[in-house]
Amino acid sequence: MLLIKNGVINTITNGIIKGDILIENGKIKEIGSNITSQEDIKIIDVEGKFVFPGFIDAHTHLGLWEDGMGFEGADGNEETDPITPHLNPIDGINPMDNTFTEAVQGGITSVCTTPGSANVMGGECIAIKTYGKRIDKMVLKNPVASKIAFGENPKSCYGRDEKMPQTRMAIAALLREHLKKAEEYLEEIELYEEHEDHDKPEYDMKMECMIPILKGEIPFKVHAHRADDIFTAIRIAKEFDIKLTLDHCTEGHLIADELAEEGYPVVVGPSLSERSKIELRNLTFDTAGILAKEGLQVSLTTDHPVIPVQYLPICSGIAVKHGMEKEKALEAITINPAKTLGVDDRVGSLEVGKDADIVVWDGCPLEIQSNVLMTIIDGKIVYRR
């Protein structure tokens, strides 16, 4: 057992209290004032320090593009087929990469790692903790979504080789085609289960990975920067009655009223980066605050390694500078990404019963001079400054 005492605890969901957190078997057992200790308990006094839930990045490529490497450590894009929904990052993530250590040192305790955006359908997305040696033991939820991409990335990847897709029309057509095939595959499976005399369809791994999407169990995680690409994603989602999260959402501030009407969760960023391609020409840190004021569930992303993941709190702080409310900026790196990824029953806030993913800071984490003093993941102290 572990007892954190006398902290200024920001629970995110239930306000700020001055008090203690009791941890047992990797979970938060109690939060309150003057929690009594037992003889076999380890006590850590954090008098005057600031205690937060571990931060969460809802869209990274952590472990798929290894630090300081070229092709040897690049395992995020299978650029041989624009439709690869059956790929899963668990088979490509290297948790020994030193960026995991930097994540822990920066107070980032969970991330979603996704395939890249070269393909129209890039594969499944996985939510993981940032500490461990074996990826199988770091999994929060797998899969949490299925990655799809619109715009310049799939166009540039395949168009240069005179292959489909070369246009936005082709991206949408490929996606519709495979969704329709998946619907027919699922219908055949259901007929087989209902009628003994109906033949079972031949196993198709790509189609199998589409079933949770069609059943509404996981969303499409949409790579889309431009407003028209965002609307194309929404159009297709409505056609097939599927869930979405809108990731990057670079021009979201230009269509904030429309997005508020639709209500899909948005994952904004990376905003601390250059306008490296045409579809980023309207990039601004204003976007997150504007969308939050419209009532949308906003998360922030570094898109690691575009921005190193440990700088997620800095991105949140800059969003505040550009008009986002401080409380909304904190929610955007805690409870909102947890909800977006479907793991808010375990992480994203400090509540009894949740995983003991806790970070102690010497100041407000949104201020650049603040430091992480201690990171706890699953009740284990994994970093001390």
Per DSSP bridges, beta strands 139-149 and 358-361 are unpaired
pLDDT class of 300 with cuts at 50, 70, 90: very high
What confidence tens digit (pLDDT) does each residue in 111-149 have?
Answer: 999 999 999 999 999 999 999 999 999 999 999 999 999
What confidence tens digit (pLDDT) does each residue in 55-71 have?
Answer: 999 999 999 999 999 99
CA distance linking residue 143 with residue 126, whole number of Å: 5
Query: What is the average pLDDT across 103-109?
Result: 98
Residue 29: phi and psi, rounded to 5, are -95, -35
Q: What is the pTM (predicted TM-score) of this model?
A: 0.97
What confidence tens digit (pLDDT) does each residue in 17-54 have?
Answer: 999 999 999 999 999 998 987 778 999 999 999 999 99
pLDDT class of 160 with cuts at 50, 70, 90: confident
Distances (CA, A) of 67 to 73, 132, 149, 364: 8, 17, 24, 28
Residue 51: per-residue pLDDT: 98
Query: What is the average pLDDT across 332-347?
Result: 98
* Residue type at position 20: D
Residue found by looking up tokens 């129209």 in the block: 120
- Over the chain, what is the mean pLDDT? 97
115 CA to centre of own chain: 12
Residue found by looking up tokens 């087929």 in the block: 81
CA distance linking residue 164 with residue 143, whole number of Å: 27
Domains of the chain (ranges; CATH) run 1-53+348-384 (2.30.40.10), 55-347 (3.20.20.140)
From 358, 306, 301, 300, select the one nearest 329 (Cα to Cα): 300
